[in-house]
Amino acid sequence: MTNKQMKDFVKARVNPEFQSGYYAGLIDKYNDSLDQKSIRNSRIYFRSSSKSGSVEGLNISFLSIDEYDHIAPTAEVSAMESMSSSKYGLVRRWSTPTADGYGISKLYDQSDQRKWVYRCPHCGLVQQLDYQKNIKLVNPDGIDIIGKKVREGTYIYVCQKCGKELDRWYNGFWDITAPGDGGRIHGYSISQLDAVWISASAIKEKELSSPNKQFFMNYTLGRSYEDTSNSFYEEDVLSHRDDRPRVNTRGDYRLVSAGIDWGQNYHHLVVLGMTTGGRVDVLDLKRFNRSQGVEHIEEDLRNIILELEKYRPNIIVPDLGFSGNYVTLLQQHFGKQVVYGCVVKSAKSNGDPVAHFNETSSQVTIDKLTQNVMMMSDMKRGDIHFYKNVDQDLKLFINHWMNVVIRTDEDETTHQPIKTIMRKGDDHFAQSSVYAKVGMNKLIDVLREERETPSIVTALDSDVGAVLNQEPTDLASEFDIM
């Protein structure tokens, strides 16, 4: 939530509660702003999570974090530190879930997993509402496919066991499903299915109007979900291995490209090679400890240079984050015509598949989402080949790519669905392989220009659309309306 959105929220949702009635007498009119309010002998602060230091300097006893899946980790750490002197230290995290094992979903898995359940008044079955099992179509004529409308009474809530209509008003309660040893944090799962003022027909109408299944599952049903077409799997690597060993020399490869992702603890290097026949192979995956202490200044860079010299790369693409002067030093060693610092545009994707090389500054600017999609598509299609042995580096490479999540979110300004990229954990090998492929595409394009054949970006443009195709909701698939 940006600072403007936070203030708009206070104006629209909080301030009206203190303008009249009982609560109006509790607030201090001399300390009543969009940033903070004094209520009796307590004070409430409103801060945006878009900046990590927004709560620095405050002493708080209770922290409530909204849209937890979208805040920067540093913002949460900073906020938690503000409670270090409190004897209460109460924390509440709220969020629409995104991906399994990430954010609020991960915390819920570690909790006592309280679910809002219902007891059927007819057969006695206790059940959490399931979208597939608890909604029944009773009026097929009530669905307007063209207008994407569903008439009230078209669907009803029913019991999973006996099939009779389920009462959601008076038979719900919290069920602790994972108590553990009794010391787990409390976690609560509830969705629009449990909102008694939202009918089953209204939920079905939302499904008809949702841009894709992931969006509907996350925002309406409150369930974590990943679009399978936009997800990376272990088999995307394992099924594209060749019967060849991992190499540590250039050998007979016609073109060699290297990508580097600098990190706070480790730097990650991926080296790609293209054979004379046009096959692109992963030659090397390596990570280097980041130098710590004055006695080891630039030791990490020297180790990376020694590794790169084994392959005599035609192009090296290191990112410009956490790099300090390392990109400049690489350019001094290998030449500015070989090393291009990578500027990654990740705030909002514009779908641009072109990597924009600037020969004057020796930099390349890329759209993070689009380039990740292109690399993912290459691997899924089998255009990137891997060595036979599944060593620890290859396992880590797979893990880093499985942490990359491409999903549909709601634009904070326009409220329209947009494609975004996020990560569930470390993705360093994934991003360094993207940079290496950006470099390889440039080398291949030079060859294509010499042969007067279409640009590789033109050839890959359709693949971007294929991976970004949105998985339709079940109802959309049933009526073939996407």
pLDDT tens, position by position, for the chain (482 residues)? 677 888 888 999 999 999 999 989 999 989 999 999 999 999 999 988 766 667 777 889 999 998 888 887 778 888 888 888 889 999 999 998 888 888 899 999 999 999 999 999 999 999 999 999 999 999 999 999 889 999 999 999 999 999 999 999 999 999 999 998 878 999 999 999 999 999 999 999 999 988 888 889 988 999 988 777 778 999 999 999 999 999 999 999 999 999 999 998 999 999 999 998 899 999 999 999 998 888 888 899 999 999 999 999 999 999 997 778 999 999 999 999 999 999 998 767 778 899 999 999 999 999 999 999 999 999 999 999 999 999 999 999 999 999 998 887 777 777 777 788 888 889 999 999 999 999 999 999 988 877 755 554 444 444 455 445 556 777 766 666 55
Dihedral sign for Cα 469, 475, 480, 482, please.
negative
Q: Is 186 exposed, middle or buried (0-12, 13-18, 19+ CB in 10 A)?
A: exposed
Give the β-pairing of 36-39 and 42-45: antiparallel
pTM (two decimals): 0.76
Give the β-pairing of 27-32 and 36-39: antiparallel
Distance CA 36, CA 32 (A): 6
Residues contacting residue 440 through CB under 8 Å, at least 6 positions apart? 255, 257, 272, 274, 280, 315
Residue type, 204: K
Just give the CATH number of 235-468: 3.30.420.240
What are the domain boundaries of the chain?
106-220, 235-468
Q: Which pLDDT value is given to residue 214?
A: 86
Cβ pair 112, 186 in contact under 8 A = yes
